[in-house]
């Protein structure tokens, strides 16, 4: 079975309606997880911990999708949209 790595990270955004970090150097790397469920649990804990700050956001990145060189990326993924 292929490994499905997930990265949980977050930080303060410039504007809560956009996904642009205020300071990239201050991004909080929560960790790398071997499956979505454990990544989701870590994401949820951080999101709940920072719920009072509307500018704080945490994300789950599907690292396994970046490593799958057999699957062609869509035009949107290539452009980063």
- What CATH number should be reported for the domain holding residue 13? 3.30.70.2400
Q: What share of the chain is helix, strand, coil (3-state, %, to 5)?
A: 35, 25, 40
Report yes or no on 67 lying in a domain. yes
Report yes or no on 46 lying in a domain. yes
Cα–Cα distance for residue pair 37/4, rounded to 1 Å: 11
The tens digit of pLDDT for each residue in 48-74 reads: 999 999 999 999 999 877 765 666 655
Domain hosting 46: range is 6-22+36-79
Q: Are 11 and 30 in contact (CB under 8 A)?
A: no
Q: What is the pTM of this model?
A: 0.76
Cα–Cα distance for residue pair 17/38, rounded to 1 Å: 27
Q: Is the pLDDT of residue 78 over 60?
A: no
Number of domains in the chain: 1
């Amino acid at each position: 079975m292929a490994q499905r790595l997930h990265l949980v990270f977050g930080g303060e955004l410039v504007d809560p309606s956009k996904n642009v970090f205020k300071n990239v150097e201050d991004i909080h790397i929560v960790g790398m997880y071997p499956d979505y469920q454990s990544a989701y649990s870590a994401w949820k804990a951080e999101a709940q911990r920072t719920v009072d700050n509307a500018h704080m956001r945490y994300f789950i990145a599907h690292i396994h999708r970046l490593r799958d060189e057999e699957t062609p990326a869509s035009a949107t993924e290539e452009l980063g949209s």
